[in-house]
Amino acid sequence: MAEDDEGRIGVVPALVRGAFLVNAVYAESAREYGLTSQQGKLLCVLMEGPLGMGELGAMLGLAKSSLTGLVDRTERNGLVCRESAPEDQRAVRVALTPEGSDLVDEFYAETCRRVDGLPKGFSDAERGVLAGLLGRIVLDNDVPVLFAEPDEIAARRR
């Protein structure tokens, strides 16, 4: 469906263009914090605690070599570190450093603020409908939690 007389577009272009819009806002926020989008995603995923390389690769959709390079670059910047897994000293987990934790707290809050402003013309009821519909799409497709609810993050980190 092309854009109609009332300025509406179909589901497919709306979802694709919406994804591009959110990615652009996310990338701009990351740049302002000296991060790449991938580094920002890595830090946000690690907000809930250290994860193994396999878990990170699956969540971020990265091949092993790409993930290793991402972790290496982010580690060189002092934002993450590798540590042995307590259950298996041969396994490696990636964790935030204190500097990474401080940076991701600011980056996450600012990025949430920016994304939350995208539907600025919506009423509370419209925002609820949007959240419900998009939430169903995400849950029905088993999308991993890359960016949790701000309230959930705050509660888990207390």
Please tell me whether the overall predicted TM-score, pTM, comes out greater than 0.75 for this model. Answer: yes
Half-sphere exposure of 77 (CA within 13 A, CB side): 20
Q: How far is C-alpha 15 from the chain's CA centre?
A: 17
For the chain, state the CA radius of gyration: 18
Tens digit of pLDDT at every position of the chain (158 positions): 456 556 789 999 999 999 999 999 999 999 999 999 999 999 999 998 999 999 999 999 899 999 999 999 999 999 999 998 777 777 889 999 999 999 999 999 999 999 999 999 999 999 999 999 999 999 999 887 777 777 666 655 55
